Amino acid sequence: MATLAAQPYDYSLPTDGSAALIIIDMQRDFLEPGGFGEALGNDVTRLQAIVPTIQKLQQAFRDRGWLIVQTVEGHQSDLSDCPPSKRERGQSSLKIGDPGPMGRILVLGEPGNGIVPALAPKPDEIVIGKPGKGAFYATPLQDILQAHGITHLIFTGVTTEVCVQTTMREANDRGYECLLVEDGTDSYFPAFKASTLEMVRAQGGIVGWTATAEQVLAAIS
């Protein structure tokens, strides 16, 4: 075990391969103009700043042969896994499934749905398509983590208060010891990111811990 001076108190990170790096939805749909994030009315460019930080963690987990799981939010091409409520929500001109400049919005396999090139997974790394905000809903994530003997999850990705927080809460309820990397996650709304970090670690770590990428890297070095 390695120990980090995380918030709200020390986090014990196993160094035997039972900790996995979870990279949530670092896909072009959320980080580049012309995708789902922009269709929702957001300035997507501000999310790109966390890419190098996640890259460092990705490399560190690769170097150790530890599990990395990436997710992408997206739907089947016939939208059979997209509830009408999700497609209709909001007042954007481009809805899920509509053709956009990077292919069909939030549809699996379309160019815009792909992970940003800087974080591209290796051929043997796991990428899970997910129809919801939480990565455990309607996916094989729980089975994959159990098959790998994972007990601890290190969370990164976007957006902090939507898919990252939802997944972290799902994981916490399933018994995983969760740590959110403060500078490895971001939101279109800085105040929402700050609030999420506080919510996670409030009440004695009701959802888990937070720490910086540098703290995680130093602990496992």
Query: How far apart, in whole angstroms, are the C-alpha atoms of residue 180 and residue 155?
Result: 5
Closer CB to ligand TIU, 7 or 159, in the complex: 159
First CA to last CA across the chain, in angstroms? 12
Which position among 29, 82, 133, 163 bears the catalytic label?
Answer: 163
163 noted as active-site residue: yes
78 is catalytic: no
130 counts as catalytic? yes
Close Cβ partners of 163 (under 8 Å, ≥ 6 residues apart): 24, 25, 71, 73, 133, 134, 135, 157
Identified catalytic residue from 130, 133, 186, 193: 130
Nearest approach, Cβ of residue 30 and ligand TIU (Å): 6
Q: How far is the CB of 181 from ligand TIU (least distance, A)?
A: 15
* Residues ≥6 apart with Cβ < 8 Å to 117: none
Binding stretches for ligand TIU (CB under 6 A)? 25, 30, 40, 73, 133, 158-159, 162-163, 188
Beta strands at 11-13 and 99-100: parallel, antiparallel or unpaired: unpaired
Nearer to ligand TIU, 30 or 61 (CB): 30
Instruction: In whole angstroms, give the CA distance from residue 25 to residue 160.
Output: 11
Q: 103 vs 134, which CB is nearer to ligand TIU?
A: 134
Name the minimum Å distance from CB 28 to ligand TIU: 12
**Listed residue (6, 2, 58) closest to 179, CA to CA:** 6
Q: Least distance (Å) from ligand TIU to the CB of residue 100?
A: 15
**Shorter beta-carbon distance to ligand TIU: residue 102 or 163:** 163
Q: Tell me, what DSSP letter sits at residue 119?
A: G
Residues with a known catalytic role: 25, 130, 163
